[in-house]
Amino acid sequence: MRSGAVAFAVVFAVGLAALAAVGLTRSSDLVYSTGVLPGAPAAQLTSGNRACQGPYYLASGESFDRVAFSLSTEGRRGAPIRVVVSDADSGRELATGRLPGGYPDFAQAPRHVVEVGSVESNDPLEICLVHERGARVAVLGQPGFASPHTRATVDGKPIDNALALTLRTSDRSLLALLPDMAERAARFRAGWITPAVYAILALLLLAGAPVLLARGIARAAAEDRDARA
């Protein structure tokens, strides 16, 4: 029985080490996403049009410095697009960046990432894409139900679709992202579900499940011995 317990402990330790290795070596630059995918044209823009999506809520202490989105140019060279980050309540501009014209269609460039400078705010944010001049482009997204907690507008008028806009920064390991994941997961749940609750559940899963399994193995071994006796 002792050898079985030792083997179980070794396997458990190796499993934890493998999880830690994956968490440290895998990374992501994603800070916030509404889950909207670039499935189809969601907003058509011509010179001067402004397409916006919001509100976006950053996790406490979180920041981003890039905005990513997808555009369809109908096979033409893309028109210049200005990216504006604003306070969703006051409309105050917080940051801006620019995608120069001449970029290819979605098929050749599935995602554009524009640097806007570091933004950190506890207030709701709105992200806008402003068509500066030139040929028509379409911002890709999905029907509005894909993001029920946000809304999209074109020139201030609500539309039925949602834009595939994401907030990003430099790559971070998955382990470093765990607190932010827990906070975002708790944001739209019942009030008692907090990041601490997710942490406790994770500990119970990682520690409790193996303990219960070990007890089950030990009990089965004991019953087997009794049966042989």
* Rounded average pLDDT over 196-222: 63
Give residue 5's pLDDT: 53
Give residue 80's pLDDT: 97
Does residue 186 lie in a domain region?
Answer: no
Does residue 43 lie in a domain region?
Answer: yes
Does residue 69 lie in a domain region?
Answer: yes
Confidence of residue 31 (pLDDT cuts 50, 70, 90): confident
Does residue 152 lie in a domain region?
Answer: yes
Helix pair 195-203, 174-187: axis angle to 10 deg: 120
Please, what is the average pLDDT of the chain?
80
* Total structural domains within the chain: 1
Lowest model confidence (mean pLDDT) among 5-9, 46-50, 164-168, 200-204: 5-9
Give residue 129's pLDDT: 98
CATH code at 157? 2.60.120
Does residue 212 lie in a domain region?
Answer: no
Structural domain that includes position 159: 27-171
| pTM confidence score | 0.66
The more confident residue out of 145 and 209 is 145
Does residue 37 lie in a domain region?
Answer: yes
Does residue 65 lie in a domain region?
Answer: yes
The answer to whether the Cα torsion of 175, 121, 151, 100 is positive or negative is negative
Give residue 14's pLDDT: 52
Lowest model confidence (mean pLDDT) among 25-34, 83-92, 198-207: 198-207
- CA 157/CA 25 separation, integer angstroms: 44
Does residue 86 lie in a domain region?
Answer: yes
The more confident residue out of 1 and 30 is 30
